[in-house]
């Protein structure tokens, strides 16, 4: 996925670039996949996809996020990552927010507005987390010989 999406002249919601790479292939692939999923949900939301489809896509994003966090946390354990507890708390907080969002969405009078706000939050959270937390993790893993 490049910085532009497949439609000529339009930009993706998340403009993925090498700037967000942390130097660990599995983590970088996960991050790019998560960004792509957020972009897809955003495109579906503004392309008029029905609410059931949006919910299914969001559930898939939530599951992929949990899988990614489990991968990172296994690296914490295998390399004795010094910032593991702080990083785990950030993951736990986001998982709790994803669960709360899904529960609130089912009760919302206008789930589209709620989803738009959640996507904006997730975009910020993912990119900020990569730059502030995961790049540090990547440097640690690289120092342990993991690329």
pLDDT number for residue 9? 46
> Per-residue pLDDT averaged across 61-83, rounded?
98
**CATH code of residue 40:** 1.20.120.50
| Residue 16: inside a domain | no
| Residue 63: inside a domain | yes
| Residue 71: inside a domain | yes
Contact 75, 137 (CB under 8 A): yes
pLDDT number for residue 35? 98
| Residue 47: inside a domain | yes
Contact 16, 3 (CB under 8 A): yes
The Cα–Cα gap between 47 and 66 comes to 27
Q: Per the structure, how many domains does the chain have?
A: 1
| Residue 3: inside a domain | no
pLDDT value at 6 more than 90: no
pLDDT value at 3 more than 60: no
pLDDT in tens, 41-63: 999 999 988 888 999 999 999 99
pTM: 0.91
Lowest mean pLDDT among 12-16, 21-25, 111-115: 111-115
Among candidate residues 12, 43, 41, 47, the one with its CA nearest the CA of residue 105: 41
| Residue 5: inside a domain | no
Q: Tokens 């991050």 map to which residue?
A: 31
105 against 34, higher pLDDT: 34
Q: Which long-range contacts (CB under 8 A, 24 or more apart) does 118-122 make?
A: 118/58, 119/13, 119/38, 119/41, 119/42, 119/45, 121/97, 122/38, 122/61
| Residue 8: inside a domain | no
pLDDT number for residue 11? 75
Contact 113, 7 (CB under 8 A): no
Domain that holds residue 119: 23-143
């Amino acid at each position: 996925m490049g910085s532009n999406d497949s439609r000529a002249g339009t930009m993706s919601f998340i403009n993925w670039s090498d700037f967000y790479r942390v130097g660990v292939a599995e983590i970088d692939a996960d991050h790019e996949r998560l960004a792509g999923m957020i972009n897809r949900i955003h495109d579906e939301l503004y392309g008029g996809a029905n609410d059931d489809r949006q919910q299914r896509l969001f559930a898939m994003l939530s599951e992929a996020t949990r899988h990614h966090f489990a991968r990172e946390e296994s690296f914490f354990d295998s390399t004795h990552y010094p910032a593991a507890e702080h990083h785990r708390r950030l993951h736990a907080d986001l998982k709790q927010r994803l669960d709360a969002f899904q529960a609130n969405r089912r009760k919302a009078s206008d789930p589209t507005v709620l989803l738009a706000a959640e996507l904006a939050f997730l975009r910020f959270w993912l990119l900020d987390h990569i730059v502030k937390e995961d790049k540090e993790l990547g440097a640690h893993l690289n120092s342990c010989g993991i690329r």
